[in-house]
Structures are given as C-alpha cells and as structure tokens.
Amino acid sequence: MHIYAFGSVCRGEIDRGSDIDLLACVDGSAPHIDTEKYSVYQYDRLKALWEEGNPFAWHLHLESKLLFASDSADYLQRLGVPAAYTQGDEDCEKFRVLFERSYEALSQSSNSATFHLSCIFLAVRNFATCHSLSLGKPIFSRRSPLLVSPSLDVGLEAFSILTRARLLSTRGYGEPIMPNEVEMAVKAVSIVPRWMQALRSQKIS
C-alpha cells in the first residue's frame, strides 16, 4: 500500500475551508480503508490513468507527496510522466455545458441556488484547469480561473461567493449564501461564456 497527500495542502493553499486530500493505492479490495477520508485506487487503475494522460494523473504527478510506502518505494514516481493530455476539447465542452445548464437554472429560479452556484464554480474551475493542462501549463489551484490568461474577471467578492457555495454543497461548511449574494454572483458570471471562448481560442491545434 502507498499513501499520498495531494491537492491544496501540497500547494500551500490552505484556509479554514480546506481539507486534506489523501490517496490510498492498493492491490485488490480494501474494505478497511475509510473512503470518506481517502480516495482509494487500485494500482492497475492508476497505471491506466497514466497511460490515458488523465488530468487526475497529471495532478498526482505534479503535486502529490508520498506519506507511506509498504515497500519503501514511490509507486507514482515509478510510473514516470503521464501520457500527453489530449481530451482538452471534450473536457472543456463538458464543463461549458455544465455552466450553461447551471446558469440557466439559477436565472429561472432561486431554488437550490447554493447547489447551482457550486456547479458553476466546478464548471469554471475545471474548465480553466483542463484548458491550462491542454496548453502544457497546468494550474490545479481552486483559483485556476483567476490565474489563467485571460483571467475570469468576475471580481474577488463574486468568486468568493462561488467558492463558499462549493464548500457548502460538498462539505456543509461556511456561512449561508444570502439572496443579495446570489444576485451578485449571477450578474458577475454572465461573462463566463465569452471568457471560455476567449480561452479556447488559444488552444494548440
């Protein structure tokens, strides 16, 4: 078994809403490992992700830290560099559609506003990450929409609302999103489609 930390704790992006992302690499089933605390992957599956050039493989390759190895070896390091990431167009389109659907639902009704804002955060964050990876300059930060060029110019307050919505939806942590904040976020993210189009116009053909 090999155990790794990855994510914000390895980037130094910790705050009160941060958790510690842990990966357990195992051979066969592992009913003794708490899947609420660990992402559990079998070795063969990780090897396949490396061969696919999967974004998660690149994330682990670039940012994971080995915490424990039953054989004193670094399994992920032995896998080497993942294959080239080639699914940028498909993945970016998937997150563009997620944004479109979430934005439309939020524009029509304030019901489940926190959930839809959370989905919008996921869409813009993953769109920026997949885009940056497709250009060979991967940014896995939760702030990736603000770190790519051009950045998502929604303002720090609006982006903070989206981030809070994500934490509330996934971890139940944080202050509730107020109606005026929902309205502010909806207005701010109206520029997202143009931003997405501008980003992908840079893609390498």
Which pLDDT score, from 0 to 100, does residue 205 have?
Answer: 47
Could you read off the pLDDT of 20-73 as tens digits, one per residue? 899 999 998 888 999 989 999 999 999 999 999 999 999 999 999 999 999 999
Give the chain's mean pLDDT: 94
Summarize pLDDT for 165-202 with one digit per residue, the tens.
Answer: 999 998 888 899 999 999 999 999 999 999 999 999 98
Closest CA to 14 of 125, 116, 141: 141
Strands 39-42 and 21-26: parallel
Q: Which residue in the block uniquely carries the two structure tokens 């357990």? A: 24
Q: What are phi and psi of 49, to 5 degrees?
A: -60, -40
What is the 8-class DSSP label of residue 149? Answer: S
Residue 172 is predicted with a pLDDT of 84
Q: Which residues of 105-117 are buried (b: 16+ CB within 10 A; e: fewer)?
A: bbeeeeeebbbbb
pLDDT of residue 65: 96
Higher pLDDT, 16 or 146: 146
* Mean pLDDT within 146-153: 97
Q: Tell me the pLDDT tens digit for each residue of 95-144.
A: 999 999 999 999 988 789 999 999 999 999 999 999 999 999 999 999 99
CB 100 within 8 A of CB 115: no
